[in-house]
Structure 1
Amino acid sequence: MRVYLPCTLPALASAVEAGELGPAPLTGYAVTPALIEWYASGDTEELEYVALTEAARASLRMLAAGRADGVEAAARRVVVAAEVPERSATAGVDLAERARVHIAEPIPMAKVASVHIDDQYAIPDIEAAVAALPAADEGDADARFTVDGAEAHELMWFATQEIPDLFGS
């Protein structure tokens, strides 16, 4: 099963060093039965894009949480795509996040298929979205617009052998 895991550049660097994404349990996003039912007309590629987008939203929240804890990280959303055994992933029941899955064990870096990350040009909009998250969560429509604006940026695709290059940018 292909899962999309929200991440940040520092967390990805730690995973590379450790040789795995973890510790478990992990939250990821995938094409779940609930997502298929909700998005009845979509093909697999469209459904995977929805899961990737939800993981990117979660990455934005990870950036905000890290900054609140004093972790310096580039304002770039990071999503790791990996293959996991279906038995390792349990679909959640949250209707707001139909693609959410819980992964019961760490994911070896050898199971990573690709990494998706914001382009440098997205950084100002991602910075603004991170700053606007608290107000957006409290119902501020302008802040929600700013947060949603982050999704206007497509994530770039990187092969696994390119991961070390991401830490210099």
Structure 2
Amino acid sequence: MNPSLPRPTLALPPSFSTREFRDALGMFATGVTIVTARTAAGDLVGLTASSFNSVSLAPPLVLWSLSHGASTLPTFADGSHYAIHVLAADQKALAERFATRGIDRWAGLEHRPGISGAPLLAGAAATFECFNRSQYKEGDHTIFVGEVERCEHREGISPLLYHGGKFYTEHPL
């Protein structure tokens, strides 16, 4: 950018469709997570999310985002804690289960309470138990920043990956 020109105050309008944007985003391979919490009444909630990322090592911070149209948004927005599970390669069915609407995602599912009550799923490659530190409303999503109070991981476990609308597992190059 030419330093003599004034800095724009607004972005240019998109030159692409929503579908084109989704397809371009699909070219970024991500890990697959399930984020879980409890409602104020103690009911279990959870959803599949690929919008997970690290933010800071000190303090330990991670982020993820949730659509404003999600029925679980009030639980995550108002709650103090949640857990993020990085899924293992053998947990594809679990990822699909927690992405499906209108079913009991918890029926017959093994889990235990975390240190602050958020449910922890068995078999994850890694888990992050988070304090709901901050939230940012941007576009059609809310970005959640969690301060990690406890984390664990399993050595030698391949993560579940998502790319171009399909699930994968890692293969060293």
- Normalised-by-shorter TM-score class: 0.3 to 0.5
Structure with greater helix share of residues: 1
Give the TM-score of the pair, scaled to structure 1. Answer: 0.33
Give the TM-score of the pair, scaled to structure 2. Answer: 0.33
Specify the structure having the higher radius of gyration (Cα): 2
